[in-house]
Copies of this chain bind each other. A is one copy, B any other.
Amino acid sequence: MLDKKLDELDQLLKRSRAYGHAISMIHWDMETEAPEKALERASEVLGVLSEAAFENFVNPKTKELLDYLNENFDKLDEIRQKSLVKLTKEYNKEVKIPKELISEYESLKAKAQAVWSKAKESGKFEDFAPYLEKLVDFNLKFIDLRGYEGHPYNTLLDDYEPGMTVEKLDEFFDYLREHLVPVIKVGLEKSKNINDDFLNESYDINKQKELSKFVAEYMNFDFSKGLLKESVHPFTLNFGKNDVRITTHYYENNITSAIFSTLHEGGHGLYEQNIADNITDTPLGEGSSMGIHESQSRIYENVFGRSYELWKGLYPKLQELFPRFNEVSLENFHKGINKASASFIRVEADELTYSLHVMIRYEIEKLIFNKEVDVKDLPKIWNEKIKEYLGLDVPNNSLGILQDVHWSCGLFGYFPSYALGNAYASQIEVQMRKDMDLDKALLDGDFNSINKYLTDKIHKYGSSLKPNELMEKLTGEDLNPKYFVDYLKNKYNFN
């Protein structure tokens, strides 16, 4: 009987995978190549498929199945047990949302993304505002239906960082605010005289593509089970561990953007490619949390990607493709790619100021979900906060509130993951340096060793370990922002 039920569960998961696969594939297509007028049809299709996916999972038969398995919990192996806990949580979350609402929400998101994309170009927040309002309303409704403890925003946070709360995040960001602001002042001052103009000359896009491909290969991103493509906003998307896709974006006058996006998304991609075979097709076959996921993207992008040691090996390739860099010493290049300066765009921000951008999104989302703010006032609030934390006057909404795609995709509660990711990354780096000679591996371009370490300690577990379990197992303590502040203090002391 138990075997029969487990079989039923596997069939259910197989169907879930298929619907999820189809939905993701259509999103992938829309982000990377679909023609403009394809949108309407794609939205309709996403609506139907989401409904089918919902009906497949949320129904009395699933409830009965989960109940039966939960009653026989002790007879299951560990992977089954953890999968069941996760699935039951997911079921209890989804069963509370009426299916019509989901399908409406999916079509709204599809449209909102297109509208956002145009509004980002024109800078007209008022075009996107009605969609954003509706997206927020949907999420407020979801929170009501799902319930919440403490702050309503907690319900959304938990979707991306299991167990995360406003209380914990306030503490985290308070620490950063307190300790980072003086470091930032010093760092920005020290960076002032660094010349990085050579990064913003004109660089052939086709050669940049070749370089990004080379970088992805250099870090051992596996192209037999993945690919690298272009999109407006770089992202990673995967279908199990054997089909992991990353994107980057090329700017003629900015040679670093594509490189660091490739390293960043490559980090996400390696995480997915290296999840253990025996859990990839279970509910545990994904990252532990978005924060841990971001730790992997940020560790490749920043800790490894902006290190002198990595570029010692990579620089000759850059010089080969762009002879201009024969006139730039590796030392000056290294300083250039680490130069800090207050800037408008989060994804292009340096490590020093990056977390402040995230902090602002966090503060704004908290206001939104506490109903303390009108959507139409968001540009003003954004601009005021950028002025307060970074001393900058935002010239238009494209460089301000509209810069990020997340809200148009319904990703509320996601932003904090970025700051958590930085903090986790530094904490992991400290442990890594205790366990292996990281500098030597970077100098040798030995990503076999680097990836093996991270696979053994993080990637392979998927979400079978929660973020705090993973961090405690690896570093002996839960999230601690101290390491990140130390990292920045140390880094921005160079001359």
Contact = CB atoms under 8 A, between A and B. Distances in A.
A146 B52 CA distance: 30
A15 interface: yes
Given A22-B45, A206-B206, A40 B227 contact: no
Number of this chain's copies in the assembly equals 2
A44 B29 contact: no
B38 A242 contact: yes
Q: Is the interface of A mostly helix, strand, loop or mixed?
A: helix
Contacts of A226: 35
Contacts of A33: 227, 229
A225 interface: yes
B29 A45 contact: no
A134 B18 CA distance: 25
Interface string A191-212: 0000000000000001000000
A175 interface: no
A250 to B, nearest CB: 15
A225 B36 contact: yes
Contacts of A14: 44, 48
A242 B37 contact: yes
A425 B444 CA distance: 62
A239 B35 CA distance: 11
19 contacts: A14-B48, A17-B41, A17-B44, A18-B45, A21-B26, A22-B45, A29-B29, A33-B227, A35-B224, A35-B225, A35-B227, A35-B243, A37-B224, A37-B225, A37-B242, A38-B242, A41-B242, A41-B243, A52-B52
Nearest to A34: B243
Interface string A10-34: 0000110110011001101100011
A229 B45 CA distance: 23
A15 B242 contact: no
A21 B45 contact: yes
Given A15-B48, A22-B45, 6 more contacts: A17-B45, A17-B48, A28-B29, A29-B29, A35-B225, A52-B52
Nearest to A26: B25
A240 interface: yes
